[in-house]
Amino acid sequence: MEHQNRPWTAFYRAGARAEITTPAYRNLADMIVAVAATYGRAPAFTCCLPNGMNGTLSFAQADAMSDALAAYLREVAGLAPGDRVAVQMPNCLSFPIAAFGVLKAGCVLVNVNPLYTAEEMARQFEDSRPHALIIMDMFADKLPRATAAHPIPNIIVTRVAEFLPVLPRGIVGLVQTYWDKSVKRIDTPHIRLPAALAAGRARIAQGADVGRYHQDVAGDDIAVLQYTGGTTGISKGAMLTHANLILNMEQTMELIEGVENGVVKGGEVALTALPLYHIFAFTVNLLGFYWLGARNILIPNPRPLSNLKRAFENYKITWMSGVNTLFNGLTNELWFRDSPPRHLKFASAGGMALQSSVAETWERITGAPVIQGYGLTETSPVLTFEPLGKARAGSIGVPVPSTEIICLDEAGNPVAIGEPGEIAARGPQIMKGYWEKPEETAKTMRGNWFLTGDIGVMDADGYIRIVDRKKDMILVSGFNVYPNEVEDVLAAHPGVLEAAVIGIPDSEGGEAVKAYIVAADRDLNGQDLRAYCKEHLTAYKVPKIYEFRDDLPKSNVGKILRKDLRAEALAELAAE
Amino acid sequence: MVDEFTQTLLGIMVAIIMLGMGASLTPRDFYLALKRPYGLGIGVISQYGIMPLLGFVMALFLVVPEPIAIGILIMACMPGGTTSNIFTYFSKGNLALSVLMTVTSTVTGVILIPIILLLYASALDLDIPREDIVRVLIVLLVPVAIGMGLRKLNANVGAVIEFCGALLALFFIAFIMVTWVPQNWQFLLNTTGATYVAAIGLGLVGIMLGYMFATALKLHPRNARTVALETGIQNGPLAIAIIVFTFPPDQQQAIMAVPALYSLFIVIVSTLVTLFFRRANTAAEQKMPDSLL
């Protein structure tokens, strides 16, 4: 059932560990403290606003401030080890303080998407039952409705310009209160983050020992509840342990550190435009690049993309993470094409399939490659990564150290090399299970193998290609058509801005391929695209129907919602 | 006409506005402009070709007294104002191009303004203090350079100055409204309609000509909007400062009429144009999801 000799380890850099099973630290709090002791006064986090206003915290400051928050949570708010603390904010200096503080207090961090509606928040609060919430003021107006069913006893409020120098902080505050009115009055009882830190500091001065809060936290204890729709669509919290996250951070960094053009300890400036509440940026940017001693440039809101301009102008960005949408968007911005970042070594893509046309354009403009990784919330998240300098077009790379991957057929048996099958993974980064949902956990685990719900193909030497989500697969006259492949071809057409492909019921072939197109070129029509697709795809994969639109439905996490398109198409067919 | 205190205050305000303009710039902006001088050339032509010619035609055909005509000419020959950057920002134009055009026209203005002004003035038989104008222009470049240095030194200081400079540019108009308008109320009532036509038309027709010019050259719509605003919106505070610092007090009232009225009306004209441009831009913008993940 497994690759006996793991041929992919041959692609790791020379000297890389093929096995990483024992975490370098007992728990994340130990890691945070040890790294701060090494890098001390070097800048750790910089928050850069669209107009260039900024604030920076050093490793030592982040360490001391998160100590103060831990002391507040345990001594003043009265939380116990293992109590959940929800954190709901975009990227800002408060995020690392909040996340690190919660972990140091021996509590469990619950990341909450700040764009959630009050109903979505309420569901997550009911499920995770947090004892405290650290939230950004801009989103606090949703609290009365979000906490009606599950009241949260301790609410700590922060703001986007927190810990910036006094003048920029004041200006941003005035603008948010009186100009764009993004901050409203908060009626829910709360304490401000700086006040909570002051109270925590006072307790430490009186002798409270923060080290004691986490000295008994073991690798197998839950560190984070990371919510995901998962493969079944029901929102559930993946229980990620301290060992899961430390090991996944090590597994990922093992392959990009110490290699030519790779990252160097203490020498990187990382652009964090992806939200830290998402598992990708959480593990790779917040934990991984902190561990490397890098300076993280935090962008509160990358929309519109011109919000990133000052960050690229004012800092020598050497590494960045992104998703297909971000890389595609940036290469379409005039200012970015005019002066691409000169110090960039490489960029990492995840979260959704990276289209090869986007990867090529990016490398042509910046001179630095985008390398793709793959993983899920349940896998902390990284399972595979393209070895730097050995990328293969369209591939998600090879399994990271101590990770095994196999592809399974419908019956659950491994398929032959080169054949598509559902990807199953085994390794130290696989979650402990879903929070209080053993039956959901059972559905996604087969023994200690985690079923991803993605269809992939593995080469003989271990490189993997994702063909699609299992549930998005289209069956045309007995042939499998994977929407990603067709979308990739469509997106490479110069007249196409975005494309989505779904299957609809068809009298001839069971299912037919339908393409939704957002055109960049108004004159583009279905005949042109059909002719173009015929050149690049086998006949059964060529879309039968082309529909042009102004935009495509997307989740608030930026992925195109094929299920919405399918529902629409089915409703239309039913109406006919 | 303008007392010592107001005069000093005016000088300080113009200096801060220019400081803020400098703080929004990096050497990279200049490098890029030189790499692609096409856009800049267009800016200089629209600023010192189209606008002065428009002013000259107005001074020639509108029936106005000599001091008013001098005011029209000076106003028409001014470089782009920082307010054009604010309106470009709000109309989602190309801010870097706008700032760059403003700075380039200010820098090249040291040489071009006296030449063009003298050319048209002698054609109209008007008397202009050339050396004084050059001196004022040079002095005002100093804060631009200081602003750039401050931004390089500390991004926060730069961003704060930029913000304050932009606010002050708007405040300047309010300042004129409360200081100059009441003092000159009687004059404003008695002056001919032609003065108002010139004050409003200079901005409005300037924006339209700028847009037509940029579109004829097939510039990207974003850049065409920028060139349009940049062409029509002149540096009003600079014109007023030049008049206050170079003409004798008894002539100032009439010469300042068009620049002062222009400064008031350009806000209204630009706001309307901006609303129009914003709608055009929203239709053409790259759509990004609510969050990138």
Interchain CB contact of A113 with B (< 8 Å): yes
The pLDDT of residue A217 is 97
Contact B32 A339 (CB under 8 A): yes
Burial A520-543 (b: 16+ CB within 10 A, else e): eeeebeeeebeebbeeebeebbbb
* pLDDT digits 0-9 by tens, A388-437: 888 888 899 999 999 999 999 988 899 999 999 999 999 999 999 999 99
Q: State the Cα–Cα distance between residues B163 and B1, nearest whole angstrom.
A: 31
The pLDDT of residue B287 is: 60
Least-confidence region, from A182-191, A301-310, A311-320, B81-90: B81-90
Say how many domains are in chain A: 2
Encode pLDDT of A337-388 as tens digits: 988 999 999 999 987 778 888 999 999 999 999 999 999 999 999 999 998 8
Q: Which of A188, A217, A246 is the last residue of a domain?
A: A217
Domain C-terminal end among A217, A246, A269: A217
What integer pLDDT is reported at residue B172 of this predicted model?
A: 77
- Whether the pLDDT of residue A1 is over 50: the answer is no
Looking at the complex, report in whole angstroms how far the Cα of residue A94 sits from the nearest Cα belonging to chain B: 19
Cβ separation of B96 and A304 shorter than 8 Å?
no
When pLDDT is cut at 50, 70 and 90, the band that residue A556 belongs to is: low
Q: Is B218 on the interface with A (CB under 8 A)?
A: no
What pLDDT score was predicted for residue B182? 82
Test A303 with B288 for CB contact under 8 angstroms: yes
For the record, the structure tokens of A154 come out as 């301790």
Nearest CA in chain A to B152: A314
Better pLDDT: A38 or A175:
A38
Q: How far apart are the first and last CA of chain A?
A: 49
pLDDT in tens, A48-95: 999 899 999 999 999 999 999 999 999 999 999 999 999 999 999 999
Residue B223 Cα distances to B101, B210, B219, B287, angstroms: 11, 11, 6, 19
Residue A173 lies in a domain: yes
**Dihedral sign (CA A464, A467, A472, A474):** negative
Nearest CB among B26, B160, B289 relative to A558 is that of B289
CB-CB under 8 Å, A313 with B156: no
Looking up residue A164, the CATH number of its domain turns out to be: 3.40.50.980
CA distance A72 to A545: 60
Residues A430 and A402: beta-carbon distance below 8 Å: no
Backbone conformation region of residue A447, classed left if phi is above 0, alpha if psi is from -120 to 50, else beta = left
Distances (CA, A) of A92 to A123, A191, A371, B34, B178: 25, 18, 26, 36, 42
Q: Is residue A425, in this structure, part of any structural domain at all?
A: no
- Nearest-CA distance B10 → chain A (Å): 24
- A125, part of any domain: yes
Do residue B291 and residue A314 have CB atoms under 8 angstroms apart?
A: no
Q: Please state whether the peptide bond connecting residue A381 to the residue before it is cis, i.e. omega within 30 degrees of 0.
A: yes
Beta strands in A327-441 (DSSP E): 346-349, 370-375, 382-385, 398-399, 404-408, 421-426
Q: Which residues of A touch B20 (CB under 8 A)?
A: none
Average pLDDT, chain A: 91
Instruction: Kindly indicate the confidence band of residue B283, based on its pLDDT and cuts at 50, 70 and 90.
Output: low
Number of CB atoms found within 10 A of residue B16's CB: 19
Which of B7-11, B45-49, B245-249 has the weakest average pLDDT?
B7-11
Q: B33 pLDDT exceeds 80?
A: no
Per-residue pLDDT, averaged over A105-127, amounts to 92
So what's the pLDDT on residue B284?
63
B155 at interface of A, judged by CB pairs closer than 8 A: yes
Q: Is residue A529 part of a domain?
A: yes
Query: Residue B80: how many CB atoms within 10 A of its CB?
Result: 31
A11 close to A388: Cβ distance less than 8 angstroms: no
Alpha-carbon distances of B152 from A105, A333, B142, B159, B214, rounded to whole Å: 40, 24, 16, 11, 32
Are the beta carbons of B288 and A273 separated by less than 8 Å? Answer: no
Look at residues A217, A237, A269 and tell me which one is the last residue of a structural domain: A217
Chain B residues in contact with A313 (beta carbon < 8 A)? 26, 28
By CA distance, what is A303's nearest residue in B?
B288
Give the domain range for residue A156. 27-39+49-217
Q: How many CB atoms lie within 10 A of CB A211?
A: 12
Instruction: Note the pLDDT of residue A245.
Output: 98
Contacts of residue B135, Cβ cutoff 8 Å, sequence gap at least 6: none
Averaged over A90-119, what is the pLDDT?
95
Q: What pLDDT is recorded for position A554?
A: 80
Q: Please report where in the chains the tokens 């307790």 appear, as a residue.
A: A203
Residue B277's pLDDT band (cuts 50, 70, 90): confident
Q: Provide the pLDDT for residue A231.
A: 47
The radius of gyration of chain A's CA atoms, rounded to the nearest angstrom, is 24
**How close B248 gets to chain A, by Cα (Å)?**
41
What is the chain B residue with the closest CA to A281? B293
User: Is there a domain that residue A212 lies in?
Assistant: yes
| More confidently predicted of A68 and B131 | A68
Task: Report which listed range, A179-183, A557-561, B99-103, is most confident.
Answer: A179-183
A305 to B288: CB separation less than 8 angstroms, yes or no: yes
Q: Is residue A445 part of a domain?
A: no
Interface of B with A in 158-177 (CB under 8 A): 158-160, 162-163
B222 touches A at CB < 8 Å: yes
Long-range Cβ contacts of A465-469 (<8 Å, 24+ apart): A465/A394, A465/A395, A465/A396, A466/A353, A466/A374, A466/A396, A466/A423, A467/A420
pLDDT interval class at B121 (50, 70, 90): confident
pLDDT digits (tens, 9 = 90+) for B247-265: 888 888 888 889 988 988 8
Residue A158 in any domain: the answer is: yes
Q: What's the CA gap between B98 and B94, in Å, rounded?
A: 6
pLDDT, tens only, B218-245:
888 888 888 999 999 998 888 888 888 8
* Structural tokens at position A331: 């290469």
Separation CA A57–CA A96 (nearest Å): 10
* A-to-B residue pairs, Cβ atoms closer than 8 angstroms: 91
- Percent of chain A surpassing pLDDT 70: 97
Confidence at A4, pLDDT banded by 50, 70, 90: low
Show residues of chain B in contact with A304, CB under 8 Å: 285-286, 288
Q: Of B94, B159, B286, which has the smallest distance from its Cβ to A52's Cβ?
A: B159
Distance from CA of B256 to the nearest CA of A (A): 33
Report d(CA A561, CA A471) in Å as an integer. 12
Residue B80: name the closest of B37, B109, B122 by CA. Answer: B109
Dihedral sign of CA atoms A273, A275, A281, A287 in order: positive
Is the pLDDT score of A280 beyond 90?
Answer: yes
Residue B2: pLDDT over 60: no
Rounded to the nearest 10 degrees, the angle between the axes of helix B249-284 and helix B66-76 is 40
Show residues of chain A in contact with B291, CB under 8 Å. Answer: 113, 115, 275, 303, 556-558
Q: Do A322 and B292 touch (CB under 8 A)?
A: yes
Residue A121 has pLDDT above 50, yes or no: yes
- Check which CATH number belongs to the domain holding A556 and give it: 3.30.300.30
Strand ranges (E), A59-131: 84-88, 108-111
Contact at CB, B285 and A304, closer than 8 angstroms: yes
Distance CA B205, CA B199 (A): 11
pLDDT beyond 90 at B13:
no
- Write down the pLDDT at residue B137: 76
pLDDT band at A558 (very low <50, low <70, confident <90, very high): low
- Whether chain B has a CB inside 8 Å of the CB on A51: the answer is yes
Answer whether residue A479 shows pLDDT above 80: no
Q: How far is A19 from chain B (nearest CA, A)?
A: 30
* Residues B55-92: tens digit of each pLDDT: 999 999 998 888 999 999 999 999 887 778 778 877 87
A226 confidence band (pLDDT: 50, 70, 90): very high
Chain A residue nearest residue B156, CA to CA = A53
CA distance B105 to B116: 13
Residues of A in contact with B94 (CB under 8 A): 334
Of A34-48, A92-106, A358-372, B92-106, the one with minimum mean pLDDT is B92-106
Residue A110 dihedral angles phi and psi, to the nearest 5°: -115, 110
pLDDT of residue B212: 93
Q: What is the pLDDT, as a whole number, of residue B21?
A: 78
For residue A43, cis peptide bond before it (omega within 30 degrees of 0): no
Whether the CB of A52 is below 8 Å from some CB of chain B: the reply is yes
In a domain, A398, yes or no: no
Q: What is the pTM of this model?
A: 0.82
Is the ipTM here above 0.90?
no
